[in-house]
Structure 1
Amino acid sequence: MTKRHVDIPPEAQATIDQTIEHIDTRLAEEALAPTIAELLADLFGDWDAYQRYRNGETVPPITRTRLQSYDPRNALIETEHWAEQKLSALQEAKCLRYLWEGFDLSPLSNNLAFAIPFRQTLANHLFAEAGDGLRLFGGIKIQCGHNIVMGDNVVVHNDVLLDDRGRLSVGDRVSIADRSHVHTHDHDTVDQTEVTTYETILEDDVRLGYGSMISAGCRIGRNAMVGAGATTLGDAPPHHIVAGSPAKSVKVKPGWGSVADNLGPLPDNRERRRLPTELPESFDEFDEFGRNLSPLKTYRDRPSERASTDRPAPLRRQPLYAPPDCPHYATGGLLGRWAEDERAPPRPVG
């Protein structure tokens, strides 16, 4: 391994250890939302202003809105619209996710000596299961949080999407490179509001290259590697290297040929991992698009509309000719360029 062990000054490390222990204790409190508000206000150096606001002192409207927004109960996040998620689990996870994303915007997120143990502590409370020795870097986007099972010694680099709208299982010693996307849900191609959730599995010792995308319901086998920029639409066999879009197996890892399956296309077993959708008996359905999902007839099939007098005349094209002082005039002046509409003046020739 080409990394060296680095320590910060003992007094600084002692302060960090004390702070992490304090945060861990606070996150175990039953009234979680007020706790999150206080932690965020403290992280952003707003503690005194937040106390004045809570004591009823008058503050400017923007300041009041900012201070109110430290409390997740006063904020709206996209996850709350997802009707297939249990509301009680969402509400608890929302508070912890709110702290997760807020922390990434704070100055302390740049100090890995604090940020790594902080995210480990937060994952212990947020994930369904969180292993030891996690190294979770900045900008990780988590959809829900409570649907993630993560093993020991997992490394997730910057700006990774961990979509757990379905169920996400990550084994031990998995490495996920920057800007990778791991999905657990799909949208219908016609009705975008129709969502199908899956279980997506990254087995032990998996490596995902930079910018790779794991489609919902895929299983990446033990010790497999997904190349940079690859998109998997099926299961990657153990010990294989898969690359491309859609990804296919390109080779077996050196030294693992005796225990690896034969090369070939990635088998698509996603339907086996499809999760049942359970919606509440009554809920206010929200469609942000409001699209017409019925097939439209072509213009050729609508003679009444084609003959309508209030429809503008179809655009016709005409050739552009060069003026007499142009060198092309002697050859007839046809330049091979066309005006888009004879009703508009010809464009200049140049």
Structure 2
Amino acid sequence: MTKRHVHLPAEAEDGLHAFLEEVDSRLANDEESTCEVVEDVLVDLHGDRDAYERWQAGEDVSPAERVRLQGYDPCNATLESEYYAEKDEEAFKTSKHLQWLWRQFDDTPMADNVEFALRFRQMLADHLFAECGENCRFFKGITFTYGHNIEVGDNVVVHDDVHLDDRGKLTIGDRVSLSDGVHVYSHDHDIVDQTEVTNYHTTIEDDVRLTFDVMVQAGVNVGENSVAGARSVVQSDVPAHHVVVGQPAKSVRVKPGWESVAEPLDTDPPNERDSRVLPYDLSEDLEVFDEFQRDLRPPDADGRDDD
């Protein structure tokens, strides 16, 4: 084994336990708005209580102070996912606030206190994700689209700077390890009109290891106990117990000891990506905009060449 148990000093442990219990209880309390809890917690974590109280009392603050203090309230922030037309508006009302707490916590000095930070993010994930198992370890710089379309099993480790795209749906099994820089996607853009989005259900099965900087395309199923080598681009399903590498990733071997239960190397897995599309409807009165404003008509759209 390459890990050992590490414990905080007793006094620090007592303080951490009391803080986590208080925040967890407040987030679970339907009588208190998530927005208010997030704002209150961030004010204290950033050490800005004195300035915040002065501002709330109507005392003068500089424009910069006012912007900073207003920024603790997630209702005064916008996220990229807020612009996505097909999002679940009701679910996003809560997940936006929790995502803001997660992101802003990562900008505090406490985010580098590993024992504190891992337990804080586990507590947040229990409230934010659709499902989150026990004994998960979420490290610094993890981002997600909403959070509320993510299902995570037990004993999952997600390392630094991982992106979990849940614009569609993302399911992560038990004992999965996602190394630094991994990107797992659940949506894709049309090759001609990139404003046209297709959402998928992407699945990372039990005991999978995605190593450094791996990218998993939307709608892919990564089979149990498989491994993707560093910087692989996984564009098709990965058979259980296989090791894949490359761009695009190809199977190069079966994990030793699993040969009798794994598909042979020369077997092409079926392409079932289309079966994992998640349809969505847009409101008829939705006000949409095209940020690119491009002419998408190809030169031979009418069947003739310019010549």
Same fold, TM exceeding 0.5?
yes
**2:278, 2:177 → 1: CA distance?**
26
Match of 2:260, SS state, is helix
**2:179, 2:224 → 1: CA distance?**
17
**Of 123, 133, 145, the match for 1:121:** 123
- 1:184 and 1:199 in contact (8 A); partners too: yes
The letter for the 2-side match of 1:23 is V
2:184 alignment partner in structure 1: 182
Q: 1:54 to 1:266 in 2, by over 3 A?
A: farther
CA deviation map 1:315-337 (0-9, x unaligned) = xxxxxxxxxxxxxxxxxxxxxxx
2:284 alignment partner in structure 1: 281
- 2:299 and 2:306 in contact (8 A); partners too: no
The letter for the 2-side match of 1:282 is D
Question: Structure 1 residue 254: deviation in Å?
Answer: 0.4
**Correspondence 1:70-81 to 2 at 5 A:** 70-81=72-83
1:229 alignment partner in structure 2: 231
Question: Structure 1 residue 296: deviation in Å?
Answer: 3.7
Question: Structure 1 residue 266: deviation in Å?
Answer: 4.5
2:22 alignment partner in structure 1: 22
**1:151, 1:255 → 2: CA distance?**
25
- Runs of at least 5 residues in structure 1 that lack an aligned partner in the other structure: 303-350
**Correspondence 1:249-268 to 2 at 5 A:** 249-264=251-266, 265-268=268-271
1:52 alignment partner in structure 2: 54
The letter for the 2-side match of 1:14 is D
2:306 alignment partner in structure 1: 301
**2:216, 2:282 → 1: CA distance?**
26
- 1:233 and 1:266 in contact (8 A); partners too: no
CA deviation map 1:185-217 (0-9, x unaligned) = 001111111100000000100000100010000
CA deviation map 1:211-268 (0-9, x unaligned) = 0010000000110111111011111000000111111110000000011011134542
**1:195, 1:55 → 2: CA distance?**
47
Instruction: Confirm or deny that 1:7 pairs with 2:7.
Output: yes
TM-score (norm 2): 0.95
Instruction: Confirm or deny that 1:198 pairs with 2:200.
Output: yes
**1:135, 1:129 → 2: CA distance?**
15
The letter for the 1-side match of 2:282 is L
Q: Which runs of 4+ in 1 moved over 6 A?
A: none
Determine which structure has greater relative contact order: mean sequence separation of CA pairs < 8 Å that are 6+ residues apart, divided by chain length: 2
- 1:166 and 1:184 in contact (8 A); partners too: yes
**1:110, 1:162 → 2: CA distance?**
21
**1:246, 1:267 → 2: CA distance?**
16
Cα RMSD over matched residues? 1.4
Question: Structure 1 residue 136: deviation in Å?
Answer: 0.3
Question: Structure 1 residue 83: deviation in Å?
Answer: 1.1
- 1:200 and 1:219 in contact (8 A); partners too: yes
1:270 alignment partner in structure 2: 273
Match of 1:257, SS state, is coil
**Correspondence 1:203-214 to 2 at 5 A:** 203-214=205-216
- 1:143 and 1:162 in contact (8 A); partners too: yes
Match of 1:197, SS state, is strand
Question: Structure 1 residue 101: deviation in Å?
Answer: 0.5
Question: Structure 1 residue 40: deviation in Å?
Answer: 0.8
CA deviation map 1:106-134 (0-9, x unaligned) = 10000011101100000000000000001
- Runs of at least 5 residues in structure 2 that lack an aligned partner in the other structure: none
**1:9, 1:128 → 2: CA distance?**
34
TM-score (norm 1): 0.84
The letter for the 1-side match of 2:17 is D
Instruction: Confirm or deny that 1:159 pairs with 2:161.
Output: yes
Q: Which range moves more in the overlay, 211-220 or 259-268? A: 259-268
1:348 alignment partner in structure 2: none
